[in-house]
Each structure stands twice: as structure tokens, then as C-alpha cells.
Structure 1
């Protein structure tokens, strides 16, 4: 994207944000996750800084039919030429309902004409459709006597993982589904999750429902009867970045060491197409 187009997009984003802030002015209704981002954008637009600004991450809290909804929104530099990343949270929704809601709002956003601000359209859509997804009756808890599921491990490859809200949601949902593993943000982005098969599948359904440039499950490992199949004892975000200008590219050497520490260095070739090189000592 050329600088002129980038500036135009950023000006539209700031204008839309100001409009939203005038509409949702009560404390806590709208929050920019990192206010410094707005300073970076304004400095870039008025040419007092030539550093590429961060992307806008904001949260909008809505009370719809006495139920609280959170919209987590990420505006890439290409917005409004591309759809914004939007993820909806609501504590009353079970996994299936949450997955369906996020799938439907994603499809709606992608159906809109590009080039125009559309966050308010997302808000209106949610206000009109939220009640369809809310579970009105008490959710029946799953039986504690159900057959124990075998574990599974998913290796996810993304073109990049920069968005703070996506990174936060990856962590939150891994916790919700009792999964272990890791997320390595940057370019490319790598995620590994392991746990019960249905939990891995439900987590993956939610995460891939968010707008991504490119994300896919590269390797699925099924339980093979080994007692030590599981490799991780928690889910964490790890940070291995090289010394590039913005520090956003993965340090594959450090990732290789991390995988080796968790007895899964064998996966390196499947992820990157080359054998890992580990230094001695």
C-alpha cells in the first residue's frame, strides 16, 4: 500500500472513531486498548513521524436486551478497504452459540461494500440479531460420566499475528477450553494447542472465525497411545523475534530451541519445510 492510500485509510479510521465516541460517551462503553496508537497515527498523518503506526484495537461494550456484549475490534491499515476484525463475547452464550454468532457476523461484514466505514453497521446488526443467540433457559451441564476423549494436538500457521485483541482472544479461549500449548506472534505466527479432541476443535472453530489474511491448521496429531503424548503443561504466549526494524519477524532459531525443550522438534520441518538446526552447548 502506498503512503497516500495509507494516510487516507488512517484519516477515515480516526474520523469513524470520533463519531463512535460521540455516540457511546458513557464511561466504559468504548475503549481504545492502547491510546498511544492514536498519537502514532496523528503523528504519521501530519508527517511529524515516518514510523508506521500500530493498528487500532478497541472494545465496545453494549447492553442488549439486558445482556452484556463485547465487540473486540481490530482495524488493520487496509481498513476500510478490507473488513475489520470483529469478535463478539457474551457470557450467556455457550460454545456453539458463540461460534455461530461470530461466524454470522463475519459473513455479514464481508457482504458489505468495501471502502466505507462499517463498525456502526456491525453494532446495528448485533443489536438486531443478538437475541437469537442468547440461551434463555439454563444450560444443562455436560455429564461428568461421559466417555473420556483422547487428546489431540493442532499446529496452526498464520501469515502473521500482530493484533493485540486476537492474541488476547487466543489466550482467553485456550483457557476457556482447558488447552495447553503456545502462541508465537509475529510474521509468520505459529500456534499450538493440545487437549481433548472436542475442545481443540471448538477452539479452532472460534479462532478461525475471526478475519485473517491467511490461517490454517498445518498439522493435526492424534493420540497414539503414548503416555507422554501431551507436550505442554500450560498455554502461553512466547516471544522470539529477530532484530528487524520493527521486531516483528520470528526468530526461527529460538523457536527451534523452544520446540526441542518440549520434545517436539520433529514438527519444525512440517511447519517450515526444512530441518531445524540446533547449536550445541
Structure 2
């Protein structure tokens, strides 16, 4: 993308955000994830900086029929010509309702014309339709239990990068909601480890990989069938974001030595070569 196009796209994003801030002006209704990034975008668009800024992330808090919703928004530099990354959260929704709502909102945005801002249109759709998902009969949704006889699996997922706060929230929130354990390491590359009951992990993976990614794939899988004792298979308690000392021009490359130590602490050091194709440097 040339500089002129990038500046035009960023100006559209700033104009749209300004319109939204005029509509949702009460404290806490709009939250900019990183105010410094917003400032850098403005400086770049105005020609006061030559450094390409990071992408814009913000969240809009809505009350719809008495229920609180948070719409997390992440805009790539190509927006509005490609779809925004969106994720809706609501504590009243169970995981199936959550997945269904986010899938539907993704389909809605995909059908909108490209090249035009669409966040307000998406908010309007959410205001018109969100209550249907809150009111879903819980008996109609699928419930998975951690049956000790069901296979346990661990997925190792590799992404070209994981920067977006929207995606990072979605990864963590959905994992916690589904009682999946593991971690996500953001940056470049991005690594995700998820472990739990096979049906839950598969459902989580299907939901996450349906988001817009430059490159993401499951590098390798493990199961408790390969373990002598299934109770020793699960290595993590809960699901967290794990950030190591970073470096690089944008401080987005994680320290692989620290990452390897972290794996070793959880008896998973052997997987480093499977993920990266090289042995870890231990010195």
C-alpha cells in the first residue's frame, strides 16, 4: 500500500471514530485501547510523522434491552476496503450463544459493500438483533462436559503475527468461557497452545480460525492417547496471555529463549522444534 492510500484510509478511520464519539459521548461508552496509537495516527495523517503507526483498536460499550454488550473493534490499515475485526462480549451469553452471535455479526459485515465505513451500521444491527441471542433457550444450546472418558487434546497453533487486541481478547475470552487451558503468545510470530476436551478444543479452534488472519494454522496436535497417564496430560491451569521480553523495530518479536524456558517449566520443551523446525538455544 502506498503512503497516499494509507493516509486516506487512516483519515476515514479517524473521521468514523469522531462521528462515533459524538454519538457515544458518555464516559466509558467508547474506550481507545491505546491512546498513544491514536495520537500517532493523527500525527502521521497530518504529515508530522513519517513512522507508520500501529492499527487502531477501540471498544464500544452498549446497553441493549437492559443487557450490557461490548463491541471490540480492530481496524487494519486496509480498512474500509477490507472487513474490520469485530468481537462482541456479554457476560449473560453462554459459549454457544457467544459463538453464534459473533458468527452472525461476521456474516453481516462480510455482506456489506467494501470501501465504506461500517462500524455504525454494525452497531445498528447489534442493537436490533442482540436480544435474540440473550433470550435463546439454554436447553437448545449444546453443552459439553469434561467427561473423563473423552479424549484430551492439545493444539499448537502458529500465526504469522498476533497484534490485534480484538483477536487477543477473543482468544482468551472464548478459551476461558469453554474451560480450555493454555496460553497465547502475541507478537511475531504468534503462538497459541490450547488443551482440553477434544470437542471443546475443536469448537474453539473453528471459531478462532474463522476470523481474518494473514496466516494461521494448527502446527501439531497431541492427545492423552499418547500419554500413559491421562491425568498428567493437562499442563496449564487456566488460559492466559504470555508476553516475554520483546525486541525488534516495533518491539513485537518475543524472546524465544524465554519462551523455551516457559515451555520447559511446563514439561513441554520438546515441542519447540516441532513448532519452529530448529532446536532451542539453551545458552
Q: Give TM class, smaller chain.
A: 0.7 to 0.9
The corresponding residue for 2:59 is 59
Mapped to 2, the partners of 1:82 and 1:163 lie a distance apart of 15
Q: How far off is 1:20 after superposition? A: 0.9
1:266 aligns with 2:274: no
Instruction: Tell me, yes or no, if the aligned pair for 2:95 and 2:177 is still in contact at 8 Å.
Output: no
Structure 2, unaligned runs of 5 or more: none
Q: In structure 2, how many angstroms separate the alpha carbons of the residues matched to 1:6 and 1:221?
A: 42
Aligned CA distance change for structure 1 residues 4 and 164 (closer, same or farther; 3 Å) = same
2:155–2:193 contact (8 Å) kept in structure 1? yes
Given that residues 102 and 209 in structure 1 are in contact (C-alpha distance below 8 angstroms), is that contact kept between their aligned partners in structure 2?
A: no
Q: Matched residue of 1:53: which SS?
A: coil
Structure 1: distance between partners of 2:241 and 2:272? 18
Could you report, residue by residue, the CA deviation over 1:119-148 in whole angstroms, capped at 9, with x for unpaired residues? 112112222222332235566999999843
Partner of 2:34: 34
Aligned residues: 279
Query: Aligned to 1:100, what secondary structure does the other structure show?
Result: helix
Superposition deviation, residue 90 in structure 1:
2.0
| Residue 127 of structure 1 pairs with residue 127 of structure 2 | yes
Structure 1 position 25 matched with structure 2 position 29: no
Whether 2:250 is the aligned partner of 1:257: answer no
- Report what 1:278 is aligned to: 281
Name the structure 2 match of 1:178: 179
1:99 touches 1:205 (CA, 8 Å); kept in 2? no
Taking a change above 3 Å as real, the CA distance of residues 145 and 251 of structure 1, as seen in their structure-2 partners, is closer
Q: Distance in 1 between matches of 2:181 and 2:136?
A: 32
The TM-score, its normalising length taken from structure 1, stands at 0.88
Which deviates further from its counterpart, 91-100 or 193-202? 193-202
- Give the 3-state SS of the residue equivalent to 1:107 in structure 2: helix
Q: In the aligned structure 1, how far is the partner of 2:97 from the partner of 2:22?
A: 31
Name the CA shift for 1:186/1:29 in 2 (closer, same or farther; >3 Å).
Answer: same
Alignment match, 1:11: 11
Local SS of the residue matching 1:50: coil
Q: Which SS does the other structure have where 2:57 is aligned? A: strand
In structure 1, runs of 5+ residues without a counterpart are none
Distance 1:135 1:259 in 2: 42
Q: Secondary structure at the match of 2:253?
A: coil
Does the Cα contact within 8 Å between 1:99 and 1:209 map onto a contact in 2? no
Aligned-partner Cα distance in 1 for 2:75–2:140: 37
- What's the CA shift string for 1:227-272, capped at 9, x where partnerless? 3222223433222455311121243343333323322233223322
- Once residues 12 and 210 of structure 2 are traced to their aligned partners in structure 1, the CA distance between those partners, rounded to angstroms, is 26
Alignment of 1:104-115 (within 5 A): 104-115=104-115
Change in Cα spacing, 1:76 to 1:241, as seen in structure 2 (3 Å) is: farther
Contact 1:102 1:210 (8 Å CA) reproduced = no
- Give yes or no for the alignment of 1:118 onto 2:122: no
| Distance (whole Å) between structure 1 residues aligned to residue 143 and residue 244 of structure 2 | 41
Is the CA contact (8 Å cut-off) linking 2:61 and 2:68 kept in structure 1? yes
The answer to whether residue 102 in structure 2 is matched with residue 102 in structure 1 is yes
Deviations 1:134-184 (A, max 9, x none): 235566999999843332111111121001232233223332222322211
TM-score by length of 2: 0.87
Task: Classify the secondary structure of the residue corresponding to 2:13.
Answer: helix
